[in-house]
Amino acid sequence: MAGEKPWRWLARPEPGSEYLALATYLPVARWRAMPTFGRYAYGVVRQLSRSPGLLGYSLRARPHRCQFWTLSLWQDDRSIALFVRGQPHRDAMRWVTSSGMVGFDSTRWTAVDQPSWEEAMDRLDGG
- Under 8 Å between Cβ of 56 and 47: no
| pLDDT at residue 6 tops 70 | yes
pTM: 0.91
68 three-state secondary structure: strand
Phi-psi sector, 53: left (phi>0), alpha (psi -120 to 50), beta: left
Q: pLDDT digits over 69-82, tens only?
A: 999 999 999 999 99
Q: Is the dihedral of CA 118, 6, 81, 30 positive or negative?
A: negative
Q: What is the pLDDT of residue 99?
A: 80
What is the percent of the chain where pLDDT is above 70? 96
Q: pLDDT digits over 39-70, tens only?
A: 999 999 999 999 999 999 999 999 999 999 99
3-state helix, strand, coil in the chain (%, to 5): 40, 30, 30
Q: What is the pLDDT of residue 1?
A: 42
Structural domain boundaries in the chain? 3-124
Q: What average pLDDT does the chain have? A: 92
- Under 8 Å between Cβ of 51 and 82: yes
Question: Which CATH fold would you assign to the domain 3-124?
Answer: Alpha-Beta Plaits (3.30.70)
